[in-house]
Amino acid sequence: MALTLNVNGRLREVVVDAETPLLYTLRNDLGLIGTRYGCGLGMCGTCTVIIDGKPVQSCDLPVSAAVGKQITTVEALGTDEKLHPLQQAFIAEQAAQCGYCASGILMAAKALLDVNKDPSDADIRSALEGNLCRCGTHGRILRAIKLAAKEMRGA
What pLDDT was estimated at residue 155?
73
Write the DSSP string, 12-43: EEEE--TTSBHHHIIIIIT--TTS--SSSSS-
Q: What are 7's strand-pairing partners?
A: 10, 71
> Count of domains in the chain?
2
If asked whether residues 65 and 124 sit together in one domain, one would say: no
Which of 57, 76, 95 terminates a domain? The answer is 76
Q: What is the CATH number of the domain that holds 138?
A: 1.10.150.120
User: What confidence tens digit (pLDDT) does each residue in 31-84 have?
Assistant: 999 999 999 999 999 999 999 999 999 999 999 999 999 999 999 999 999 999
Q: By 3-state DSSP, what share of the chain in percent is helix, strand and coil, each rounded to 5? A: 40, 15, 45
If asked whether residues 94 and 70 sit together in one domain, one would say: no
Is residue 112 a contact partner of residue 48, using CB atoms and an 8 Å limit? no
Write the DSSP string, 106-125: HHHHHHHHHH-SS--HHHHH
If asked whether residues 94 and 36 sit together in one domain, one would say: no
The backbone torsions φ and ψ at residue 87, rounded to the nearest 5 degrees and listed phi first, read: -65, -45
Q: What is the CATH number of the domain that holds 66?
A: 3.10.20.30
SS3 3: strand
If asked whether residues 123 and 89 sit together in one domain, one would say: yes
Question: Whole domain around residue 24: which residue ranges?
Answer: 2-76
- 129 pLDDT more than 80: yes
